[in-house]
Structure 1
Amino acid sequence: MELQYRVSWWTYLIVIAVGLVLVFPFAWMFATGLMTTTQTLLVPPNVIPSPPTLEGTQEVFNRIPFFTLLLNTIIVSVSRSFITIVVCSMAAYALAVIKVPGTGVIMVLILALLMVPGDVFVIPNFAIIASMGLTNTLTALVLPSVFDVFGVFLLYQFFRGVPRELIEAARMDGASHPRILATIVIPVARSGVISLAILAVLFEWKDLLWPIVVNRSAEKLTLGPGLALLRGTYITDWNVVMAAGVMAALPMIIIFLVLQKQFIASLARSGLK
């Protein structure tokens, strides 16, 4: 017997209203990026650029090395995502599948670390990176984020749901732990791994504080602190800032649209767990 769910008209109305509220900042950013500097200073402000212009977009390339910042962000984001998946997968596998001694204590410590603000580790991380002579390098942007306690916790929840029969069958066939992890556990928990990859890329894409602390050269920055260079001391050309924001956000929007099914499915499964 199939269950039928009826959604009333006011539910649709609420969803549409919330959607418009969430979309409005992006629409405003896109519209402002197509305005001239004079139009952005009008009171009351213009909602629709008249006429649209690419003046702000052209000025972005004149003020900052946008493509260099974009390339740095892609390199750092992809590297951090790959290394995080490898490290967190091995840690979660040891806790969820092998069940190493002290798993309960380790999970308590992981939950405790999740409650600590990440900014607390900025000074210790900088001291370590400086002692290794890695300041003002892209490597310095990746190393502190290699081990992600949230990533371990997330994958731990997914790996616990992998059928034990599959793992036991692989062990009987003589498969090693790395092979079981790579060929059985990760494919079964694929949605969780994809979610962690998306979150890791998103974190690096929008990170502002750490790149400014560890790197001084504009050629070694990422998009987050790079866009902050567009703000002036006394006056800011908001059409330029918004145009740069649109160009910086566009790759993330495309990635989410391509992988939205896996991302939403992983969130739903983690909620059911």
Structure 2
Amino acid sequence: MLITTAGVSQRTHRQAAPASGPRRGGIRPPFSAWHLLLAPLALIFAIPLIWLLLSSVMSDAEINRFPPALWPSGIDLGGYQYVLNNAGFPRWFANSLIVSVTAVVANLVFGALGGYAFARMRFAGSRVLLVLILATMVIPFQLTMIPTFLVMKRLGLIDTLGALIIPSLVTPFAVFLLRQFFLSLPRELEEAAWIDGCSRLRVLVRVVLPLSRPALSTVAVLTFLATWNDLTWPLIAINHDTQYTLQLGLATFQGRHHTKWAAVMAGNVITVVPVLLAFLGAQKAFIQSITSSGLKG
């Protein structure tokens, strides 16, 4: 009887062993099947940037050769040297940085104040005012550039960096996005701070803003991209080349030096690199903010 029981137990163990071991059909690949489609698409979209980078380290002879060279025979930094030494690029870069950083800081401050007021405070005409602010987002810039130019001229700011900074101090999008994110935050955290004696401003600074880093990062990145890449308004408001932004300087530089393609490509690389770094640095926060700000209307 013992032998029979032992045999049954061994057979039962052998039958159950494969179920507890690793299954070949259960092994998952290290990447998603979507990557097989997304990777070639990403490469296609990256081809212009790759070509720009390769052309910036070519000589003018290689760029002008037909058929064009697909790979540089050697690294030639003559285009970068020409841009940095013989053009106003360092000054234009500094102007763009001043305008963009100032616009980012101002939008974070004023956007947070306005967004929190519309999200948590109820005052007479608040909803009407919010609708009017959002309505300005659908007005094309072509309708407002002449009144804006006249206002800047009346203030004596034409051909100065102030004419580029003041219209960008606060945007309706910053107010709206931060308002939507503030609405998704639980009120209990703010009520606990009020019980401890915090004012509204202190609650905003100490409680709300630390929880709103994804939304703040999104506002900062989008404001930086819009201000850094703006060409139309600087073209209208700036006349002297010492006040040019990088985009405006690059446009005029390309028109004057259309035969020096290596320098033109190098200038484009210098212009694109800060934008890529800003977006890649805040990509995770950008996605998190977009998914969170739409939870509550």
What residue number does 1:53 align with? 76
1:35 aligns with 2:53: no
Q: Are residues 271 and 95 of structure 1, via their aligned partners in 2, closer, same or farther at CA, if it must alter by over 3 Å?
A: closer
1:256 aligns with 2:276: no
Matches within 5 A, 1:179-258: 179-232=202-255, 235-258=258-281
Whole-Å separation in 2 of the counterparts to 1:233 and 1:130 = 29
Quick one: percent identity of the two aligned structures? 37
Matches within 5 A, 1:1-273: 9=33, 11-232=34-255, 235-273=258-296
Deviations 1:160-203 (A, max 9, x none): 11211112222223322211111111111111011101111111
Q: Does the residue aligned with 2:38 lie in a helix, a strand or coil?
A: helix
Q: Does the residue aligned with 1:229 lie in a helix, a strand or coil?
A: helix
Deviations 1:61-110 (A, max 9, x none): 24421111111111111111111111111111111011333333233223
Query: Who wins on radius of gyration, i.e. which is larger?
Result: 2
Deviations 1:20-57 (A, max 9, x none): 12211110110111112222222322221122211211
Whole-Å separation in 2 of the counterparts to 1:271 and 1:97 = 17
Whole-Å separation in 2 of the counterparts to 1:271 and 1:244 = 39
What residue number does 2:13 align with? none
The code of the aligned residue for 1:48 comes to: W
Contact 1:230–1:240 (Cα < 8 Å) also in 2: no
Q: Are residues 35 and 269 of structure 1, via their aligned partners in 2, closer, same or farther at CA, if it must alter by over 3 Å?
A: same
The code of the aligned residue for 2:127 comes to: G
Whole-Å separation in 1 of the counterparts to 2:168 and 2:157 = 15
Whole-Å separation in 2 of the counterparts to 1:203 and 1:254 = 15
Whole-Å separation in 2 of the counterparts to 1:26 and 1:8 = 26
Whole-Å separation in 2 of the counterparts to 1:240 and 1:209 = 23
Q: Does the residue aligned with 1:135 lie in a helix, a strand or coil?
A: coil
Whole-Å separation in 1 of the counterparts to 2:261 and 2:274 = 21
Range moving further from structure 2, 197-206 or 167-176: 167-176
Give the gaps of 5 or more residues in structure 2.
1-27
Contact 1:72–1:222 (Cα < 8 Å) also in 2: yes
Whole-Å separation in 2 of the counterparts to 1:251 and 1:147 = 22
Contact 1:88–1:152 (Cα < 8 Å) also in 2: yes
Contact 1:114–1:150 (Cα < 8 Å) also in 2: yes
Shift of residue 148, structure 1, vs aligned partner: 0.1
Aligned length: 269
Q: Does the residue aligned with 2:109 lie in a helix, a strand or coil?
A: helix
Q: Are residues 192 and 179 of structure 1, via their aligned partners in 2, closer, same or farther at CA, if it must alter by over 3 Å?
A: same
TM-score w.r.t. structure 2 length?
0.84
Whole-Å separation in 2 of the counterparts to 1:250 and 1:173 = 46
The code of the aligned residue for 2:69 comes to: N
Shift of residue 8, structure 1, vs aligned partner: 5.9
Contact 2:257–2:264 (Cα < 8 Å) also in 1: no
TM-score w.r.t. structure 1 length?
0.90
Whole-Å separation in 2 of the counterparts to 1:103 and 1:168 = 22
Q: Are residues 23 and 223 of structure 1, via their aligned partners in 2, closer, same or farther at CA, if it must alter by over 3 Å?
A: same
Contact 1:63–1:230 (Cα < 8 Å) also in 2: no
Q: Are residues 124 and 236 of structure 1, via their aligned partners in 2, closer, same or farther at CA, if it must alter by over 3 Å?
A: farther
Q: Are residues 139 and 57 of structure 1, via their aligned partners in 2, closer, same or farther at CA, if it must alter by over 3 Å?
A: same
Q: Are residues 14 and 57 of structure 1, via their aligned partners in 2, closer, same or farther at CA, if it must alter by over 3 Å?
A: same
Give the gaps of 5 or more residues in structure 1.
none
